[in-house]
Amino acid sequence: MKRVAAALAGLAAAVALPVHAQPKLMGWADLMGRPLPKATARVAYGPDPLQVAEVWRPDGKGPFPTVLMIHGGCWLSGLANLHIMDYAAEDLRKRGIAVWNVEYRGVDRPGGGYPGTFQDVNAAADAMLAHANEYGLRTRKIVVLGHSAGGQLALWLAARGKLAKSSPLYDPKRLDILWTVSLGGLPDLATAKEGCSEKTVSRLLAGSTAADPLADTSPASLLPTPVARMLIHGGLDETSPPSQGKAYVAKARAAHDIRAWSYSIPGEGHVEEISPGSRTWAAVTQGLDSVFHSKDAAWVLQLSPSLP
């Protein structure tokens, strides 16, 4: 209990650091200009070249606590791929946490959009279960972590058990998700156009024939969700500002869902959210340490509401 309390106190302290001047935010060149680490293995979960996941296996004997990771890029394969998460994945690997880093078909690729993008995420998660023994992955109480559009997909994956069997996105396999972490995510597709353009969101949903295309795609439409969720935003994130997370949590509370929390990191932006060395990423790793290594994870749930 003391270890969890100390970890969360450090997380709260990181959030509360004062900002005296407008900082220079990181750009993508600042992140991707670093030497690119290399994954342990690459696994295909479908026939398309984009239907792959990369494994980041820690040294030593498993099974290891596991994070299923989903990159962003406004659901556009031409804008970003799984390698923008490599630095975060390698940092977790060094901390003894295995990572299953997912690629998927974006709306600008054949088969992407609705239902393909969502079905890819389902298939990638199912493949993680199938290959768990091979790579020493512990698939009990996993954490799903996504950034930007990947945050939307991570929150959606946490709620997939609520989908109607009639939905093309339905997947009967059970995922044992302890926490979902959305970093600069877009939890409500009704407002995601503010960060990723109305055209892109429309392309994501274009294949749906449902009366309400948001009903089986938007995390904000799948509340209450029976998985603990943390929505973390850089305070200066313009792609997905803290207001996105706060609005989602407000909708969750209105649906009597008390297992979602949102907070922002002052002085940091969208790229810092997945950049080792940033205060935002330090907050993430402290939180993961408390989740994976605490003897009493229930205390995390009890103490989390005290965070901003």
User: Average pLDDT, stretch 6-35?
Assistant: 68
pLDDT on residue 291? 86
Confidence of residue 23 (pLDDT cuts 50, 70, 90): confident
**What residue spans define the domains of the chain?**
2-306
| 180, containing H or E segment | strand 177-183
State the residue for tokens 């494994």: 55
Q: Which of 274, 302, 307 has its CA nearest to residue 28?
A: 274
pLDDT on residue 293? 78
* CB distance 140 to 176 below 8 Å: yes
**The tokens of 15 are what?**
């959030």
**Cut 0.85: pTM above it:** yes
Chain segment 167-178, per-residue pLDDT in tens: 999 999 999 999
Q: Which of 77, 127, 79, 133 has its CA nearest to residue 101?
A: 127
pLDDT on residue 121? 98
Burial 194-227 (b: 16+ CB within 10 A, else e): bbbeeebbebbbebbeeeebbebbbbbbbbbbeb
Angle between helices 86-94 and 279-293 (to 10 degrees): 40
Chain segment 34-65, per-residue pLDDT in tens: 999 999 999 999 999 999 999 999 999 999 99
Confidence of residue 292 (pLDDT cuts 50, 70, 90): confident
Q: What are phi and psi of 256, to 5 degrees?
A: 60, 35
- In angstroms, the CA 76 to CA 87 distance is 20
22 against 245, higher pLDDT: 245
Domain 2-306 annotated CATH 3.40.50.1820: yes
Confidence of residue 307 (pLDDT cuts 50, 70, 90): very low
Q: Which of 217, 221, 192 has its CA nearest to residue 206?
A: 217
Chain segment 248-290, per-residue pLDDT in tens: 999 999 999 999 999 899 999 999 999 999 999 999 998 898 8
pLDDT on residue 290? 84
* CB distance 145 to 65 below 8 Å: no
Q: Which of 151, 187, 160 has its CA nearest to residue 72?
A: 151
- In angstroms, the CA 154 to CA 101 distance is 12
- In angstroms, the CA 207 to CA 75 distance is 14
DSSP 257: -
Check pLDDT > 60 for residue 109: yes
pLDDT on residue 20? 52
DSSP 26: P
pLDDT on residue 17? 44
| 164, containing H or E segment | none
* CB distance 47 to 126 below 8 Å: no
Confidence of residue 304 (pLDDT cuts 50, 70, 90): very low
Q: What percent of the chain has pLDDT over 70?
A: 88
Check pLDDT > 80 for residue 21: no
